[in-house]
Structure 1
Amino acid sequence: MRTFSLSSLAIAAALFLSGCSLIPTYERPAAPVPTTFPGDPAQPAGPSASSLPWQQFFTDPRLAGLIQTALANNRDLRVAAQNVEVARAQFGVQRAALFPTVALTADGSRSSPNPARAYNPNAGSVAQSFSVDLGITAWEIDFFGRLASLRDNALAQYLATEESQRAAQTSLIAAVANGWLTLLADEELLAITRQTLATREDTLKLTKLRFDNGVASEIDFQLANSLAETARATYAQQLRLRRQDENALALLVGAPIPASALTGLDGGLARVQPMPAVPAGLPSDLLTERPDIRAAEQQLIAANANIGAARAAFFPRVSLTSTIGTASSEFSNLFHSGTKAWAFAPAVSLPIFDAGRNRANLDVARAQREIAVAQYEKSIQSAFSEVADALAGRETLGEQARALQATADAERKRFELSDLRYRNGVASSLDLLDAQRSLFAAQQSAVQVRLLQLQNQVLLYKALGGGWKTGDATAAPAAAQATQSPA
């Protein structure tokens, strides 16, 4: 019976010393979105976006090289990585508060006159004392879980920062891919504009010759001249956009764009290696696959832990100061027998009147949790909207791109026929110039929609949580390694 009593006492003491938690039970809020995506989209076979490393999605070696360089050099990503280190260190600081701090202190003093001479004439004129102590100073024993709640808050903040870094990586990879695709489209548009300018200048020369010989009117000549100048202005605009887009990509990459990444751009978007189709899954999958949603949930958990700390502030705080060491009035006798000294000083602080400070802090913590709930739900809704938009694009952009390419092919044929008829004097210059305008507009529209189609594939991959996992470095294309620059 005595053994049982001692065991029970030991268990009770351990539970008492371990403290209790006043953190509310965490329950994940229900996702405020439908259970399926609009239109019940088709689910192609293959791995999910979140399990597909970016090296297996972006297979073009030029683009893979740019992404590798961006991951090593982008300054925003470096800041995100250092934020993780800061949060990890802050968690370590908060966790250390649960344990006592043991310190060794040495003290010595000499003063004159010696107060002891007032009752002991034989005492010296100088008072001196020396001590060496090993002990604990003001260690708060966490009976009500205040420090544990703050530790849990710091842990959740650290995990949220880590997820935010992954979200920053997915955004960077998608931005680099879109920037590179935009450069391809710029090169294709430049080639189209250059060809259109050459065609219009040829038409202008022919119209000028016909005008000088009295065959064409001045109206025809000025219209041809106007269209040629318009093509020159468009070419200058496209050249400026091309350079600005390259500068924007260099900022994302964090280093000058290597020449190898820009080789073969004259092929345009048609030479881009295809990206695999990824299944959309269910909206509930986004809760575990998107780093930004996981980060928002960790922020919610942190806010929930703050309520526990605010509740614990209503209860007494118990702190302990204890030392053991040696003390002597003579330094030479400091470690001799009979100089042992010790102190044991527990303290209890019970809040009685604080003018409502603790109640207000609890109200703040509860309001912050409600804010975190709303932010978590908003992150889910935003993710759902991004995926739904990308799925709508996947269903429609392909047909739109096909139709616009067919339109461009038809306009090219009409222009060729109009040019032949004009040179043989059958058609008027208005027919030819109208065909030139229509062909130029159709070609531009076809390139722009093709760019939107490719960028939509990137958006869907990112929206479904892809890009934060990295595959085996040896699986990356060799050209990707060649384009890396030192960090």
Structure 2
Amino acid sequence: MALGGCALNAPPAKVDAAAPPQWQAPLPHNGNLTDLNNWWQNQGDPLLVQLIDSAQAASPTLASARSRIAQSRAERVAAGAALAPSLDVAGSVARQNQQSSIPTGTTSQVALQASWEIDIFGAGRAARNAAEARFNSANAGWHEARVSVAAETANQYYGLRACEQLLKVAVQDAGSRAYTARLTELSSKAGFLSPSDSALARASAADGRSRASAQRAACDIGVKSLVALTAIAEPELRAKLAAATAVPAPAIAIAVLPAQTLSQRPDVYTAEQEVAAASFEVRGAQAQRYPRLSLSGSVGAANFHSGGENTQLDTWTLGPLAISVPVFDAGRRRANVDAAQARYELAVSQYRGSVRKAVAEVEQALVTLNSTGERASDAEISLQGYRTAFTAIEDRYKNGLASLLELEDARRSRLAAENNVVSLQQERSNAWVALYRAAGGGWTASAVVPAQANN
């Protein structure tokens, strides 16, 4: 049995993550990685903080994560309890009459019974360690869900604010087109412009109204999406949105080395703990192929009452000390080991895949931030130029020195530039949120799950 215990050879509980030695994308210059947990509060937008809090309170994803914590805690307690002896109290009362020298009487007894399976080969310890790893994984999963809900809410909020800006642009554009259509209609009736110019101006005005209507509908859909996320009544949410002003997301600094950033990702930690749990399960499956040793015993007291007299009987037993040796199971235990080994290899593959995914998410967010930063100034210069050009052509058109086609072409260029600036701002805000999420959202392995997640 001792030699068999030495023969157990489970795969390692911790494997190499194969993280790259350095980032390939340029890093942000400002910000603070250590304060990501309070990143939303530092933005100076109290409405966004309130929306995130409401979304996290109403999220079924977080409720599911809390349920997994409760289940894994119960499994950890059960696995740990299996290593200790079990104690039971049993009591009984019986009245009997036998055709013997023993008179009719009532027997009452109570006993304390104990049993213990001695964990010689570590099957119980492996089960306890696997349950502990999965409990740690569930705790990290709760933090991952919290970060995910916060990021989703922020993206929806920033998307709605961008939609509102695009709606303002669309409404202004529609008003400008309507003014041009009225001016063209008067000029056409006076004989200064052809009927085709009047038709083109009316078509342009109708197109502007259609764009504004479509943009308004998109904003309404965005509000309803926020209602679904936060469980805030729509009238109340609209009032809050109208009273608040959006604030751009602040900068985030990340660690110089990828390994340090990946250590703050709850999803990577979860995958790492799954590798450890799978390793312990392989050891447990291997231990099931070896003998099992158990010990039992009891201490009790009995009383026999007959003919008005009581007879006290005290008993105790130690044993049996029993050993169970597997002889033949048609390969079931060997198959269990192979299955556990296959689950371990899958866990290792998923862990390394999660590391690659985490690196890619950080790199992609960094590339987007760098790109939007470089394009921002050009977009503003482009917008100012197209605005100036449109104003000049509009003045020339009013004085009969430019055609309607020139005016409409300048209008389209200005509108595209307006929309590009707003979309660029939204893209940059989404990239900061993506980097917040990719950097772990302020989570650390020692993070404590709030009390409501433990209940």
TM-score (norm 1): 0.83
- Matched to 1:132, the amino acid is V
CA offset digits 1:325-384 (Å, max 9, x no partner): 123543799985444353532322111000000100000111101000011001100000
Aligned with residue 225 of structure 2, among 237, 242, 248 = 248
Is 1:131 matched up with 2:117?
no
CA–CA distance in structure 2, aligned partners of residues 191 and 70 of structure 1: 28
Please, which moves more after superposition, 374-383 or 280-289? Answer: 280-289
**1:88 aligned residue:** 73
Aligned with residue 379 of structure 1, among 319, 334, 354 = 354
CA–CA distance in structure 2, aligned partners of residues 185 and 333 of structure 1: 93
CA–CA distance in structure 2, aligned partners of residues 80 and 238 of structure 1: 37
**1:184 aligned residue:** 161
Please, which moves more after superposition, 429-438 or 71-80? Answer: 71-80
**1:31 aligned residue:** 17
CA–CA distance in structure 1, aligned partners of residues 221 and 309 of structure 2: 77
% identical aligned pairs: 31
**1:406 aligned residue:** 381
**2:190 aligned residue:** 213
| Structure 1 residue 466 displacement after superposition | 2.1
| Structure 1 residue 290 displacement after superposition | 0.6
Relative to structure 1, the CA distance from residue 195 to residue 43 in structure 2 (aligned partners, 3 Å threshold; closer, same or farther) is closer
CA–CA distance in structure 2, aligned partners of residues 167 and 294 of structure 1: 10
**2:429 aligned residue:** 454
> What are the ranges of 5 or more consecutive residues in structure 1 without an aligned counterpart?
1-15, 470-487
> What are the ranges of 5 or more consecutive residues in structure 2 without an aligned counterpart?
445-455
- Matched to 1:53, the amino acid is N
**Aligned to 1:289, what secondary structure does the other structure show?**
coil
| Structure 1 residue 445 displacement after superposition | 1.6
Contact kept, 8 Å, 2:33 with 2:442, in 1: the verdict is no
- Matched to 1:263, the amino acid is A
CA–CA distance in structure 1, aligned partners of residues 353 and 371 of structure 2: 27
**Aligned to 1:345, what secondary structure does the other structure show?**
strand
**Aligned to 2:33, what secondary structure does the other structure show?**
coil
Contact kept, 8 Å, 1:193 with 1:235, in 2: the verdict is yes
- Matched to 2:46, the amino acid is P
CA–CA distance in structure 2, aligned partners of residues 213 and 58 of structure 1: 57
Contact kept, 8 Å, 1:63 with 1:261, in 2: the verdict is no
Q: What aligned pairs does 1:147-166 form with structure 2 within 5 A after superposition?
A: 147-166=124-143
Relative to structure 1, the CA distance from residue 83 to residue 333 in structure 2 (aligned partners, 3 Å threshold; closer, same or farther) is farther
Contact kept, 8 Å, 1:328 with 1:334, in 2: the verdict is no
Aligned with residue 143 of structure 1, among 120, 134, 138 = 120
CA–CA distance in structure 1, aligned partners of residues 443 and 203 of structure 2: 51
Q: What is the Cα-based RMSD across aligned positions, in Å? A: 2.6
TM-score (norm 2): 0.89
| Structure 1 residue 176 displacement after superposition | 1.6
The count of aligned residue pairs is: 439
CA offset digits 1:188-214 (Å, max 9, x no partner): 011111111111111111112222222
**Aligned to 1:276, what secondary structure does the other structure show?**
coil
Q: What aligned pairs does 1:39-118 form with structure 2 within 5 A after superposition?
A: 39=25, 41-42=26-27, 44=29, 46-48=31-33, 53-55=38-40, 57-110=42-95, 114=98, 117=99
**2:369 aligned residue:** 394
CA offset digits 1:92-139 (Å, max 9, x no partner): 111111111211101233456x3xx2xx3x455x686432111114x3
Q: What aligned pairs does 1:251-400 form with structure 2 within 5 A after superposition?
A: 251-256=228-233, 258=237, 261-264=240-243, 272-330=247-305, 336-342=311-317, 344-400=319-375
Relative to structure 1, the CA distance from residue 45 to residue 52 in structure 2 (aligned partners, 3 Å threshold; closer, same or farther) is farther
- Matched to 1:346, the amino acid is L
Contact kept, 8 Å, 1:109 with 1:128, in 2: the verdict is yes
CA–CA distance in structure 2, aligned partners of residues 134 and 25 of structure 1: 41
CA–CA distance in structure 2, aligned partners of residues 192 and 123 of structure 1: 104
CA–CA distance in structure 2, aligned partners of residues 153 and 66 of structure 1: 37
- Matched to 1:297, the amino acid is E
Please, which moves more after superposition, 154-163 or 235-244? Answer: 235-244
Is 1:227 matched up with 2:204?
yes
Contact kept, 8 Å, 1:43 with 1:280, in 2: the verdict is no
Please, which moves more after superposition, 306-315 or 43-52? Answer: 43-52
Contact kept, 8 Å, 1:103 with 1:135, in 2: the verdict is yes
Relative to structure 1, the CA distance from residue 260 to residue 80 in structure 2 (aligned partners, 3 Å threshold; closer, same or farther) is farther
Relative to structure 1, the CA distance from residue 308 to residue 331 in structure 2 (aligned partners, 3 Å threshold; closer, same or farther) is farther
Contact kept, 8 Å, 1:418 with 1:435, in 2: the verdict is yes
- Matched to 1:83, the amino acid is R
Contact kept, 8 Å, 2:87 with 2:114, in 1: the verdict is yes
| Structure 1 residue 458 displacement after superposition | 1.4
